[in-house]
Amino acid sequence: MDISTLVGWILAIILIVNGITVQKLGNFVDMPSILIVVGGTIAGLIACYPFRILKDVPKHIAICFRGKKYNIPQTVDQIVDLAMIARQSGLLVLEEKAGEIKEPFFKSAVLMIVDANDPDKVRAVLERQVESMMTRHEEARGMYLKGSALAPAFGMIGTLVGLINMLKAMDLSGSGGGSTLGQDMGVALITTFYGSTLSNVLFHPIAQKLGVRDNEEILYCTTVIEGVLAIQAGENPKTIREHLLASLQQRQQDKLMKKSGDKGGDK
């Protein structure tokens, strides 16, 4: 599990509360302000997106807190194993092996070469799948970016509402006209505070984390595509390992190549 988002959120809240000082926290709670900023942002998102995208919010939150789901080095090991089996016993034997693979993209990719499809076709179908997955993810990420833009906007709308009401009620010519000016203006600014905090502490990190996860998923999928096509082309398992690892960091590569060297020696 990747708790960095949670750690960041808790830390940010502690620091902001510390800046406010606990005994003055009451200054920062104002129900109509919360309604106009939080509610307005949600209303704006509902107006922007169809329910089909909105209903996936819990899934997106889960993705943020999930640890690294895709274990590339282990996937490379699996691909190398499949390549060795395919070389010894032919591609058809991979059908039963595919049953053991849990990750659906990998599984469908292996089944596609078992069905003896044309390599160009396999690549085209798998890449189209990755592309349309990415479009969906981009849409989801876009929702949080939109949220991070709407929150300060509704914060400003709330502040304008507060200021206009305050100014309209102000009577500078009379005696005590300005007596509550300070407090009214304080209340008006609270919505700007809410909007700014929501945008930077809540929405931006979620959008960013989803983007990082996307990159990991693309790396995983392209590794699977390259690997499966190499199996179909009957390439040398050792060469497959080397080429697939090329996309990892140098540090990780060195570690993994050594391990593979040991393994390679046994076979």
Interacting residues with its own copies between 129 and 168 (CB under 8 A)? 129, 131-133, 135-136, 139, 146, 150, 153-154, 156-158, 160-168
Q: Would you count residue 261 as binding its own copies (CB under 8 A)?
A: no
What are the residues whose beta carbons fall under 8 Å from the beta carbon of 255, sequence distance 6 or more? none
**Residue 146's closest CA among 100, 207, 88?**
207
- Residue 54's nearest CA partner among 63, 43, 65, 45 is 45
Residues 25-64 within binding reach of its own copies (CB under 8 A)? 27-28, 32-33, 35-36, 39-40, 42-54
Choose the stretch contacting its own copies; rule: CB under 8 A; options: 73-81, 90-98, 243-251, 259-267: 243-251
Q: Should residue 116 be labelled a site residue for its own copies when binding is judged by CB under 8 A? A: no
Q: Which residue in the set 69, 89, 99, 247 belongs to the binding site for its own copies (CB under 8 A)?
A: 247
DSSP label of 26: G
Angstrom distance (rounded) from CA 244 to CA 223: 6
Structure tokens at 131: 């592309």
Among the listed residues 173, 262, 265, 267, the single contact to its own copies using CB under 8 A: 173
Q: Which of 75, 78, 199, 232 binds its own copies (CB under 8 A)?
A: 199
Residue 62 or residue 167: which is nearer to its own copies going by CB? Answer: 167
The reply to whether 22 sits near its own copies by the rule CB under 8 A is: no
Q: How far apart are CA 153 and CA 148, in angstroms?
A: 9
State phi, psi for 178 to the nearest 5 degrees.
-90, 10
